Amino acid sequence: MPAWPQPEPAVPLMELARQRRLPPHQAMDQPTLTWIAQNRPAETVRTIAVPYPPAPLLPEVAWFAREQAADGIHGARHNARVGLLAALLAEHHDLDAEQSAALRLAAVVHDCRRHDDRADPGHGQRAAHWLIRHHPAVTASLDMRLSEEAVTAACTAIGLHDVDYPEFSAAQRHAYEQAPRLTDLLKAADCLDRYRLPATRWWPDLARLRVSVPAWMHGLAVDLMLASEQAGLDGAAHDEAVSHARDTISHLP
């Protein structure tokens, strides 16, 4: 589905966030993206070469609980960027090929069943249950061949990605023990794309993670987000926007 330029909202997201009245559906707008670029932390300005991410994987619009959500801040571009960041984290942490693929699968669908761009408790579990039912079609669409064990691990990570570690129930702690690395790395990749959110208080907090994240990944995450969201605002389709961002960052210092 082509992503046409969005009309400017009456009030930009960053102002709505300041007023604490964000709507259920949130799409990036130019004033908010410009504000993010102007306020990015100094340590995220890249000055060194970084690894080139693999080709992006895009969720299909039909995978989202609401078609409109695919254009939102938890939509197709977000899920695709988390997939790219997950692939780089998998390489950094020496995951094998099947674990890496399972992590990317989890990343690409982790937010597809959200009902609300504000707090939406349980959306991870909804996405996990959805993937359990639809994984043959999903993995075929993504050209992946995974064992049942790998798909189960991906579903476990998805089901836990939106729950803070201290808030795990006994059942969630048990589930986490079945796929700790995938869960930790999905949480980290998702966290790195939080620079898209319209308030600095929601930007990445590494203290909430259980895995190390190389310092250079913060700059890469911001650049990926800025380039892909700008392309989306300029009218690029989701796949074009993320592919453009991936190519753009390869030419930065």
Could you list the mean pLDDT of each consecutive 10-residue stretch along the chain, which spans 253 residues? 50 96 96 98 85 92 95 98 97 97 98 95 97 97 96 98 97 98 98 98 95 94 97 97 90 61
The burial of 48, by beta-carbon neighbours within 10 Å (0-12 exposed, 13-18 middle, 19 or more buried), is given as exposed
Report pLDDT for 252.
Answer: 62
The answer to whether residue 243 is domain-embedded is yes
CB 112 within 8 A of CB 135: no
The answer to whether residue 97 is domain-embedded is yes
The answer to whether residue 57 is domain-embedded is no
Report pLDDT for 249.
Answer: 82
The answer to whether residue 174 is domain-embedded is yes
Task: Report d(CA 79, CA 42) in Å as an integer.
Answer: 25
The answer to whether residue 151 is domain-embedded is yes
C-alpha separations of 203 from 148, 199, 208 in Å: 35, 7, 12
Report pLDDT for 248.
Answer: 86
Q: How many domains does the chain have?
A: 1
Which amino acid would we find at residue 35?
Answer: W
The burial of 147, by beta-carbon neighbours within 10 Å (0-12 exposed, 13-18 middle, 19 or more buried), is given as exposed
Report pLDDT for 1.
Answer: 40
Report pLDDT for 9.
Answer: 53
Full residue range of the structural domain in which residue 66 is found:
13-20+27-44+62-249
The answer to whether residue 52 is domain-embedded is no
CA-only gyration radius of the chain, Å: 17
The answer to whether residue 127 is domain-embedded is yes
Give start and end residues of each alpha helix (H) in the chain: 13-18, 30-39, 76-92, 97-109, 123-141, 148-160, 170-178, 180-192, 216-233, 238-249
Report pLDDT for 49.
Answer: 77
Give the pair of three-digit tokens for residue 95.
């995951």
The answer to whether residue 156 is domain-embedded is yes
Task: Report d(CA 103, CA 90) in Å as an integer.
Answer: 8
